[in-house]
Chains A and B, each alone.
Chain A
C-alpha cells in the first residue's frame, strides 16, 4: 500500500527575469520534447489495438468447443483429490476425478452411480458393494480397476488431510478386478453420500505411485505426489487439469479419452476474481459464469444474464455457551430460550438478501431429514421476556464473538451480528459485539471460550449425519460447551438417528432430533445464505449443485 508521503510543492523562489519571450521559448522547448513521447505512445497503442494472442481453441464458446470462463473468489489449496476440501477445489476436481457415485442434476438427496454401474448395501448398512463400469478408463487410456479405487481410498485415509474423516471406520477391498467392497465398523447408511464427495475421486494408482504417491500408513509424511497432481491430473473424468495456480486460475481441458458423454466445452478456465469484478465481467462477456455475486448484485444483472438464486447448504447459527464456567448467564436454559424467541429471524433474512431462507433446524432444507419450514422457530417477544424474567436476569450483558473480515455469500457477519444485537436489545439482553479477524476468532471459537458465537457450518457432504457434530459431546457442541452428558434425551435421539438404516427411519429420527435441539439446545439456527450464480445467456443447461456449484461438463 502506498502511504501518504510528505510531498514537496515548492513554488520556487526564482528572481530571474521572465520576459514573455523567454517563457514562450521554454514552452516551445517543452512541446518539442513531448513529441517523441507522444509518437512512442501512439505506436504502442496501435499495436495494442490490433493485438490478439494465439488460442488453441475457437474462443466463441458454446456447443462446438470453445472456452468457458468461470469467475469465482478462490477458496483453493490443492488439486490433489486426496487433500482437497475447499469449495473451489471441490468444483475443479469434480469433473476431473470420477467418484464411485455422484449427484445428478443438482439433486443431493439420492446418490447415483458414476464409476460404479450400481451399488448394493447390506441390510445392516455395514457392507457396500460397487461393481465398476468395464468401459471406464483414465485420461491416459488405462482402464479403471478396483485396485485404483482401493489405492485412492487408502491414500485419502493415510494422508490424514481434511477429507480423511470421510472414511473413518471404512475399509476398502477389491473383491475382484471390477468390484469394490466397502465395509464399516458400525452401521453407516450415510456412506453412499460421502462416497459422492469429489475428495474421494479415483486416481490412476500406477501413475500416482510412480510419482511419489503412497497409500500406506505414513503417507502423511511420505506421499510426494501432490505437486505432480497439481500439474498433471490422473483421473477418469471428462476433463484434465492443464494449468493449476492456487492464486490466479485453473484451466481444465477436455479429456479426449473420456469413457462417457464428451463435454461441450473444450476448455474451462476458472479464474480468481473479486465479486464486484465478476458482475462486470459477466455483463461484458469477458466471462460466462460468476459464482460469487451477492443478492444485491444479482438484482442488477437480472434481465441481462440468467441468474440462479437459492439457499446454500451453509447454516449460519448463533450459540450461547452451555458451560457455566464460561458464562453463568448464557448457560442458563431460560436465557437460551429468551435468545431463541427474541431473535427476529425474518429481519435477519433482510441482511442475507433474496434467495436466502430461514433455517428451520441445523440440517439444510434440501437434505434428507431436514425439518419442515413450518417447524421453524418464530419470534415471540413476550415469551422471550418471560423466559428472561424466569432466569432471574435483569438486562444481562453478554459478549458476542464473530469473524469480522468474512463475507459468506454476500453476508457480512458484522451486519448480521449488529442485527442480532438490535433484536436482543428489544427483549432486554445487552449484546456487546466482539469482532475479530477470522484466524483470531477461530481460535476462541474452537477452544470453546466464547460466551456467544455467531458462526456458520458448510456441509461436508449432503447428509443429515454431518450435523451430528452439533449433538452433545461432539465437535461443534464442545465449542458451545454442550458436553456429552448435558442432555441424555438429545443424545439418545442422536444415537437413534445415527443407527437408523432405512430412509423413512432416518428422516423421522433426524426430524425428532432437530425438534428436540430446537427446544433445549444451545444452538439457534438462523439462516441459509443465498447462492447466486449468474451466467451469460449463451450458457445452456445451467443448474446449481449445492456441493460443487455447477457441473461444468454438463453445460452447453
Chain B
C-alpha cells in the first residue's frame, strides 16, 4: 500500500516537474545555440529534432514517461550523455557528502540537544541554544564562503575544492564513495585526503541541520524527562545513563527521527549551494548547470531523484517508528 502511494507520488512529481520546467520563461534553443546558429533555421531545426522539441507538451510528457518506464531518462542537452549515466556519476559524490553531513548532524545535534536538556537553564544550555540559533540562521552560501576563507585560506587547516587534490588518482570504483572505496582497498592515503576534503563542505552542510536537531532533541528530551516513568526509574535506583538511554532517549527518538529524515532530504537540495561555492563535483553542481542551460531532461532527472529519495526516506522513517515504539501499529 505504502509502496503504491510512493509510486503514485513519483508519477505526480514527474508531472509537476515537467510542467514547472516547461513553464520557465526561456527557450532551450536560445540557451543551447549561439547567436549565429540560432539564426540558422537548419541548425534550429536540427536541435529541435534531436531533442524532441517539435511535439506538443502532452506528447513530450508521455514520451518521457514511456521512456522512463524503460529506464531511459533522456539525454542531457549539456553533456549529450544519458541523464541516467550523468546521475550515476554525480550521485555518489553528493551522497557521500550528505551521508557524512547527516552523521555529523545527528551526532552533534542530538548530543548537544541532550546536553542542553539535562543542563536546562544552566550555562551549557544557554550556550547551546545560542549556537543552535546561529546554525539555523546563517545562510549556507555565506557560511560556505566564510568557512572556506577562514579554515582553508587563512588558517590552512583544511584543503577544500574537489574530492581529491588536482591530479590525484581516485580509488578503484566500488561504491563511488571515495572514503569507503579507499578503505575497502586499504588505501589509507587516499582515504585521508578524501576525508579531509569532505570535512569543510560537510560541516557547512550540517550546520543548519545541527541547529534544527539540537532544538528538536532538547524539546523532546525535556518532554520525556517530565514523565512519571522516568521518575519511577530513578526511584528504582537505575544509573542516570541507563535512565537517559532507555527511558528518555527512546521515546524522544520518534520525533528526532522524523526531523532527521526530513533534514537528509533537505541536504540533497542544500548541496546545490555548498557544491557550487566549494567546487564539490556532485549533483548540486550538475543541477545548477542544468538549470542555467535550461537542460530539461537533466532538471527532470535531478527532480525525480530527489523526490524518490524523499519518498524512500519517509517510508523508512515510517517503518522505523514501529521498531522504536511498539505502541505504534502499522496498518
Listed in ascending order, the chain A residues whose CB lies under 8 Å from chain B are: 1-2, 4-5, 7-17, 22-23, 25-30, 32-34, 37, 44, 47-57, 59, 67, 69, 74, 77-78, 85, 160-162, 164-165, 220-221, 226-227, 230, 245-249, 251, 267, 269, 271-274, 276-277, 280-281, 283-284, 286-287, 436-437, 439-440, 442-443, 446, 457, 460, 469, 475-476
Contact = CB atoms under 8 A, between A and B. Distances in A.
A85 B262 CA distance: 42
B244 A269 contact: no
Given A161-B43, A439-B294, A442-B30, A12 B117 contact: yes
A457 B36 CA distance: 11
A25 B237 CA distance: 12
Given A230-B81, A277-B148, A437-B26, 16 more contacts: A1-B140, A16-B225, A22-B240, A48-B199, A53-B165, A69-B167, A78-B80, A160-B46, A162-B33, A162-B37, A221-B46, A245-B89, A251-B167, A272-B285, A439-B27, A442-B27
Contact of B111 (A37, A226, A245): A37
Interface in B235-249: 239-241, 244
Contact of A267 (B40, B167, B241): B167
B166 A67 contact: yes
Contact of B36 (A27, A50, A165): A165
B167 A55 contact: yes
B167 A5 contact: no
A54 B244 contact: no
Nearest to A4: B136
Given A283-B153, A284-B153, A443-B26, A16 B226 contact: yes
B218 A443 contact: no
Contacts of A245: 89, 281
B26 A12 contact: no
A69 B169 contact: no
11 contacts: A1-B269, A11-B219, A32-B241, A48-B195, A49-B192, A51-B195, A53-B189, A160-B40, A230-B81, A247-B281, A284-B152
B43 A271 contact: no
B92 interface: no
B254 interface: no
A48 B167 contact: no
A161 B29 CA distance: 12
B310 interface: no
B145 interface: yes
Given A12-B226, A44-B195, A247 B118 contact: no
B191 A47 contact: yes
For the complex of A and B, list the 10 residue pairs with the smallest distance between their C-beta atoms, beginning with the closest: A51-B192, A12-B222, A439-B26, A14-B226, A248-B281, A10-B219, A48-B196, A29-B241, A53-B168, A220-B46
Contacts of A284: 152-153, 156
Contacts of B223: 10, 12-13
A156 to B, nearest CB: 12
Contact of B193 (A9, A51, A227): A51
Interface in B137-188: 140, 145, 148-149, 152-153, 156, 159, 161-162, 164-170, 187-188
Contacts of A57: 167
Nearest to A159: B46
A17 B225 CA distance: 11
B226 A475 contact: no
A245 B81 CA distance: 11
Interface string B275-313: 011110100011011000110000000000000000000
Contacts of B196: 48-49, 51
A54 B159 contact: no
Contact of A15 (B107, B189, B226): B226
Nearest to B182: A53
Which of B35, B42, B222 has the most chain A CB atoms closer than 10 A to its own CB? B35
Contacts of B269: 1-2
Which of B33, B159, B196, B293 has the most chain A CB atoms closer than 10 A to its own CB? B196
Contacts of B102: none
Contact of B164 (A23, A53, A220): A53
B71 interface: no
Given A4-B136, A9-B219, A16-B225, A165 B37 contact: yes
A202 B272 CA distance: 38
A247 B208 contact: no
Given A12-B120, A27-B119, A246-B78, A271 B166 contact: yes
Contacts of B231: 16-17
